Every structure is written in C-alpha cells, then in structure tokens.
A = this chain, B = another copy of it.
Amino acid sequence: MANVAKKVSWSNKDDEDRPGELTPLLNGSPTASPAQTNFFRIERLTTVNLDDDLTQDQDGVSTTNVSKEIQHNEKLLSLKYESLDYDNSENQLFMEEERRISKIGFHVLEIKRWIVCCLIGIFTGLIACFIDIVVEKLADIKYMQIKQNIDKSTENGGLSISLVLWASLNAGFVMIGSILVAFVEPAAAGSGIPQIKCYLNGVKVSHVVRLKTLVVKVLGVIFSVVGGLAVGKEGPMIHSGAVIAAGISQGRSSTLKKDFKIFEYFRRDTEKRDFVSAGAAAGVSAAFGAPVGGVLFSLEEGASFWNQMLTWRIFFASMISTFTLNFVLSIYHGNPGDLSSPGLINFGQFQSEAVQYNWYEIPVFMCVGAIGGILGAVFNRLNYCLTMFRIRYIHRPCLQVIEAMLVGAVTATVSFIMIYAMYSSDCQPIGEDPIKYPLQMFCSDGEYNVIATTFFNTPEKSVCSLFHDSPGSYNPLTLGLFTLSYFFLACWTYGLAVSSGIFIPSLLIGAAWGRLFGIFLSNISSDPSWADPGKYALMGAAAQLGGIVRMTLSLTVIIVEATGNVTYGLPIMLVLMTAKIFGDFCIEGLYDIHIKLQSVPFLGWEPPEKSHSLTAREVMSYPVTCFKRLEKVGRIVDILSDTATNHNGFPVVDENHEPEYDNVGRLCGLILRSQLIVLLKHKVFVERANSTLTQRKLQLKDFRDAYPRFPPIQSIHVSQDERHCTMDLTDFMNPTPYSVPGEASLPRVFRLFRALGLRHLVICDGSNGVIGIVTRKDLARYRLHKGQLEELEMAQT
C-alpha cells in the first residue's frame, strides 16, 4: 500500500491525542477560485476523488497492513468504505436492455420481486424459529443442571461448587460463540444494526451481507444467549434478515460458490439495497412481531426516496416473516393455528384496567422519559470509553475471546451472589404463575426465591414478568440492586466479540427501574391505584431503550405493536421523545457512536446546520482524473493501477473543447472503475472491433456476472501491444451524469446526493467544464459540533 505513506499528512499520527478542529476552509472566501484556495488544498491532492476500493483486495495485503496501527477516532473519516451505486448507469447497453423488455417482461420482473420478498419473509421467520427453539432447548438443559446442583448443594452444603459450575457453563457457551465471531467472521459481532444502518445509508460494509456472516451470527447469538450474557436475540435478527435478503435476491452465494442463475436482473446495487431493506424489516418483524414497525425501521434507516410499491413489498416480507414464525412456533408448541404470539418477544396482554392512564400522568411519563434519556446517556458514555479501551488494547482475537468468557463468568457470579445475599428478604409463595425453575434456596418449603427467577430466566421472560406481575411481587431493594448490576453488565457486554442485541437488556434495565419508580409512586401517592408498577415498568423500558438507541417513529411503533395495545401510543411516544431530547443533549445514540468510531462516512437526513456558507467548489475534490471518449488503453490501465489515487469514478470529457478551456474538458459522461475493469477483461478495444466480429457483443450480463466483486486491476493482463490500443467509452459510460455548478451550496449538493443516492456528483463551471467531483466522503466530512461546523480528517484506517 504505497499510498499509506503519502496520506500520512491526513491521517492521525498520534494514537493518543485527538486532533483539534481544522476549519481553515471555512475561513476561505466562499467565491474563491481553485487557484485561490490551493493554499488550503495542497495537502489533500493525494486523497482526492478517492471513493476507494480497498475491499477489492480486502482479503489480501491492504487490510492486514493497516490493521496494525488502528486509529479509530470519531474525528476521522475512513477512506476504507466504498459507496453503493444507487444511480443506474444509463448507458447504451442499459437503454437497449430496457427497450427490449416487453410489457410482459416488466410484469414478470415485478412478480419475481414479490416472490423474492415472500422467500425473504419465510426464511427470516424460519431462522428466528430456529434460534428460538435451540436457545430454549439449550437454556433448559443448562438451567436444569444448575438448579439440580443448587438444590442439592443447599441441603448438603458446597454452594461454591454450584457457582463454579454455573460460571464455567456460561463461560463455555460464551467461548464457543466468541471463537466463532472472533476467528471466523468478525463482521458478525454485535447486533449488526449499525452495519445495516450503514448499508442502507449507502455505504458498502465488507462481509456484512455474506452467508458466512449469517451462519456465525445465528450460532453466535444462540451461544451468547445460552451463555447467560446480558444480551438479546432480537437485534441480530435484523442483520440475519438483511443477509437472507441479499442472498436470495442475488440468486447465488459467493461463500458456497454456487450460482443458481436466477434473479440475474437484480444483480446491481439499486435492486439489492431494496431487498436488503425488506430483509431488515422482516427481521424486525420476526423479532418483535411488529410488521409495521419493521417497515418504518427500514424507512427510517434506509429510504432515500419513498416508493409506494417498494414499501408495499417490504410490508409483505414483514408480514410473511411474522406469520411464518408464529405458524411454526405454534406447531412446535403443540397448538397449531394459534397465531397470537407473532414475535420472538411479546410484551403480553396488559390487563384492561392497567392499560388506562390519566391525563395528569403525562408529565410523570415525561419524567420517566427524562430519567431514561439520562441513564441512556450514561450507558452510552461508559460504553464509549469501554470501546475506546477495547480498540486500543483488546484487538487480538484471543484476547477478545478471553474477555467474553470473563464477562460470562462474572455475570454468573453476580447473579449467584445476589441470589445468595437476598435470599432472606425476597421469598414468595409459589403461586399460579407458571415458573419454570422455582429455586427454593434458603426459602421455606412452598416458597421460591424471586430474584433467582429474574436471573434464572432468559431476559425476554424477565421483561414480561416485570410488566405483568401483580403489584407487590418485587422487593424494591432487589429491584434496585438488579437494575444496578444489570446496567453495568449490559454495558460491559455490548461491544464484546459475540453476536448480541442491546434491545432486550435495555428493556430489562428500564423495566426494572420503571417498576421501582412505579412502586415509589404508589407509596407516596394517596390513591395508589393509578400508579400500576407494570405500566411504569413498560414506560421505563421504553425510556431506557429510547435513551440508548434514540430511534423515534419506528421504535414507538415497535413497542406499541409488541404491547398489542394502541392506547399506550401517545405515552410511549412522549416518553421516547423526552428520552431522545435529554439523551441527545448529552451524547449521541449508541449505534451512532459505534458508526462514528468506525469512521464511516454516514450521511444524515439533513445537511448540517450552518453549512449554507460552503459551496460545492469548496467541498469538492480536485483535480479530477478524466478520460476522453476515445482513450488509450495504456493510460486507463496506468490510472486504474495507481494505488495513490485509487479513483472509482471518472468523468468522460469531450475532446473538441475550445482553446480557452484547455485545462478543463466538457463533461459528457461518467464511467466507473468496475465498468472499465470489465471492458479491459473482455478486451473491448477499437482496434480489435474488426477482428472480433465473430465475437458476441458485450452485454449488461457481463457486468452483472462480475458484480459485486469485480476483479482487481492487477489480475487483468494487458500486453504491451494492447496498451497502444484505444477504447471507445461512449457506449459504456453513463452519458448523463448528474452535475451541479460550483456555486451550489453544500445543503443543495447534499440534498441532491442524498435524495438520489449518488456516488459521484460532478461539479462543473459555467460552460460545463469539469472542475471537481463530490463523493460521499466530501459531504460526510462536515459536521456540526458545539454550534460550529467542523471538518473531519480523512484517513486510511
């Protein structure tokens, strides 16, 4: 990687210090010409126009070279990430194909899209069933063993052996999950939601939608849940759905090296991203039984342009997914046709008297929201520090596995100590509630230890207990200690090299302190009937989750759907709103923190405020490497091979420009690196046109077959003779790329770029001469920080 050295001036050389805010450009004259602004630009020349393709040789040298000196920092922007091409290249081949498709052809395509969405729904539902059933079976075995051992030890003494058994069982399960993630496929770590957010935003995250990732993710989440970690199996479902969607829609798997030769038309970023949205929605839908929430999640995270038919299809996939899950699970549980539990987690039916709320409770709910926001911010801050620590010191896979095992053992130990310490204060008679593992411990006969039940259960069931158990079931001290310990355990767990979701732990923490809050309210209130602890547990759960992840509309709908009751809509919305306001005041959402720490060029919904003073001319990268319509093969190969620039898109300019515009050619098209690679591979040279009359003409199919992993330029052999040939780019370039004048403001450029999902936007002067190019990184670089626009640095992290 020759370019690493050159870019040192742009990368953060000092690991310890974060760079100060660099805003020289903002002080430059807004109308300055390129010549005038050269002073500020000179260092950037080596990195310009670099919509880089390191992923092409990701498995090779480049990443390993860089990974030694990890420079994660939220003030950097990584050059590692490519953009997706959401804009069709409307070249001759494309137009010919579109014209060839008959009316029936369009219908067939449409039907195929529906079939793919149906399959996405079915497979996502099945995966969710698989996870659910296996987790249940394994957890049953584990808890049964431990219970028997504890029961025996309570009588005979030797509880420390039970502790060791519990801790080592946990650590064992976690180890398997962690080894899979750390050694086989690191992309499967965590919930995958940040990665899916990035993908839907238009960033190509490598390995994120591969079959191998799916397998590791599914097995990983099973082992981490069974391992007793403070994790949920819901978040990973979203990632799983997305991988399933990408796999099915492409009709082939590169992990299995199998091409089913179906759905070939969908082999481009535009179509694939649409299906991935559907997959993510189906995942949400299966996880929470929330098909509408799933659709809104996809839209909130991914949609740039709302399309009625697409949304309708996404909804269909979601519906099918929750139906499949419900149907299969109902058969598994022995009551086929009972379609009343549509998700992996259901919050259960709230009693109708508990559902009611009074208008004067609304300010109280908003207080709960505020507490959730602040606690969420504390959680995020702690996790941020922990992540920084991990990035610096725990980046070797074996260290990651050891940390995960440690967390597993500690979780078991904390649980055990709490059960042991609280045994006397929290015994309850075994009532009608069907409790699977009533631990007697030191309680009298016919009683069980309540806190043991909370720990001795999957977190999903604990959440439901906190919502629905009758007032008085929980001792406030127990709840307080539980909240505290689970808060820190969950915070420590998120970011481990295991496959895990943050939704359920957040809900559990929130439900615990929400219930505590409810108990407190009913104690101080003269009429305790209105302060149902279950209701406040729900509000607390919403507040805590909202305070951590900061989702808005989709989270409201997900919680309302999981509750199965529309009446709570307004309170939940107000709680989430307050939590978001309070949380945003302190620190960003957890997913955004992790996205920023990965230095992903993520584009928000709106251009940053106060960016109106910046123009395209100040933002763009230049000088631009252009090609002519008829270009020498040698030059193309040289430019593509130049690792110092590594451009991905090249404006094509007209040769017949007038003398006064000698330096800038007039824009007449745009061609991508991937297209040039295919052209070179097929030797589409003007000089060979006659000799290859017998050869078939290059078709769009040839480009699709190479998608998405186009070969690197180094793998294409071009002989010395061929270097003197010419390539005619006219038929292959996009003849009408979007362009804006250099005077356009940053918000204007941003909106165009975001609304159309562009990858390259050419900046032209008054007579259509190419003066620069704007890519995702040029826009993502600007950010509002403490009321000032700041400019991020770019680095090859």
Contact = CB atoms under 8 A, between A and B. Distances in A.
B745 A95 contact: yes
B342 A358 contact: no
Interface stretch (A384-392, A477-485, A607-615): A607-615
A767 B304 contact: no
A740 B736 contact: yes
Interface stretch (A55-63, A211-219, A550-558): A550-558
Interface in A329-371: 337-340, 342, 356-359
A361 to B, nearest CB: 10
Contacts of A304: 305-306, 755
A751 interface: yes
Interface stretch (A171-179, A186-194, A292-300, A631-639): A292-300
Which of the listed residues A577, A606, A752, A767 has the most CB atoms from chain B within 10 Å of its own CB? A767
Contacts of A144: none
A84 B303 CA distance: 23
Contacts of A745: 90, 95, 736
Interface in A417-431: none
Contacts of A339: 356-357, 567
A94 to B, nearest CB: 8
Interface in A667-713: 668
Nearest to A310: B605
Nearest to A308: B605
Q: How large is the interface on A (under 10, 10 to 19, 20 to 34, 35 or more residues)?
A: 35 or more
Interface in A522-574: 552-553, 556-557, 560-561, 564, 566-567, 569-570, 573
A729 interface: no
A300 B309 CA distance: 10
A103 B787 contact: yes
A99 interface: yes
Interface in A300-339: 300, 303-309, 311-312, 315-316, 319-320, 322-323, 327, 337-339
A342 B322 CA distance: 27
A54 to B, nearest CB: 30
A295 B292 CA distance: 12
A322 to B, nearest CB: 8
Given A327-B359, A736-B743, A766-B654, A95 B612 contact: yes
Interface in A120-141: none
Contacts of A787: 103
Contact of A569 (B291, B552, B557, B735): B291
Contact of A557 (B292, B357, B748): B292
Contact of A315 (B327, B553, B748): B553
Given A570-B323, A736-B744, A668 B766 contact: yes
A514 interface: no
Contacts of A654: 766
A433 interface: no
Given A103-B610, A736-B740, A561 B553 contact: no
A289 interface: yes
A260 interface: no
Q: Chain B CB within 10 Å — which of A307, A359, A561, A569 has the most?
A: A569
A106 interface: yes
A442 to B, nearest CB: 42
Contacts of A573: 315-316, 319
B569 A319 contact: yes
Interface of A: 90, 95, 98-99, 103, 106, 289, 291-292, 295-296, 299-300, 303-309, 311-312, 315-316, 319-320, 322-323, 327, 337-340, 342, 356-359, 552-553, 556-557, 560-561, 564, 566-567, 569-570, 573, 577, 605-606, 609-610, 612-613, 654, 658, 666, 668, 735-736, 738, 740-741, 743-745, 747-748, 751-752, 754-756, 764, 766-768, 787
24 contacts: A90-B747, A90-B748, A95-B613, A103-B609, A291-B569, A292-B557, A299-B306, A304-B305, A304-B306, A305-B306, A305-B755, A307-B606, A309-B606, A311-B553, A319-B569, A319-B573, A320-B570, A337-B356, A337-B359, A339-B357, A342-B566, A736-B748, A738-B740, A738-B752
Given A106-B609, A309-B606, A738-B740, 20 more contacts: A103-B609, A103-B787, A292-B560, A300-B311, A303-B306, A304-B305, A311-B553, A312-B553, A319-B573, A323-B570, A327-B359, A338-B356, A339-B356, A339-B567, A342-B567, A654-B766, A668-B766, A736-B741, A736-B743, A755-B755
